[in-house]
Amino acid sequence: MKKLILIFLIFFNQTVHAEYQSVALKTDSLITNPGNSLDLSLIYNVSDGDNTLSGISLAIHFDSNKLQLLEKNITNVFSFGASTPLIRNEKETEDDNDENTDKVVIFFWSKPFNNNWPNQTLPLEVAKLKFIVKSTTGKTNINTSALSSSTGYEYKASRICIKITEKGDFNMDGNINIKDVLKLFNYIKSL
């Protein structure tokens, strides 16, 4: 009976605590205005801290009606095992469960034969993106998904929601009116 319980606990522990790779999206502000730039850092991590995996293939999904990304605005790409990032239309197989996203940036990092990627202290910034905010207001998501992850690891997706407001819309309700003046007045008064 003790052996049966031990086997159950080992199996249960492995299925409940699946290890994962993740890429967090980090920005200085979740609120911006049309015409501004939006800087985004991609921060790679592994749940068990193992920095000697085979790599990851990653997709960053965005709505090209609200955000523009040029290849020259993809910088600080972690070069060890990297291929050139690719911007293209989203395919059905690159699903992020968001019907509003239509473009992806694809990243590949791989060291499949010696399993030593990224071989750096984690968490690790693996790239920076600079989006240009188009002249539309509203909300837009930037999402991640993995095309492949290292053997034995799942991928933990991440998402951030960016609110695009007109300049002067201090209360972020989509209208510029006396309520914005009061919001600004109360903010200045609190200083």
Per-residue pLDDT of 83-93, as tens digits, reads 999 999 998 77
d(CA 118, CA 110): 9
Whether pLDDT at 94 is above 80: no
Which contiguous run of DSSP H or E holds residue 75? Answer: strand 67-75
CA–chain centroid gap for 31, Å, is 16
**Residue of 101, 118, 107, 115 whose CA lies nearest to 160:** 101
To the question of domain 19-190 being in CATH 2.60.40.680, the answer is yes
pTM (2 d.p.): 0.82
Tell me the pLDDT of the chain averaged across its residues: 88
Q: Letter for the amino acid at 144?
A: T
Per-residue pLDDT reduced to its tens digit, 114-128? 889 999 999 999 999
Burial grade of 100 (CB within 10 A; 0-12, 13-18, 19 or more): middle
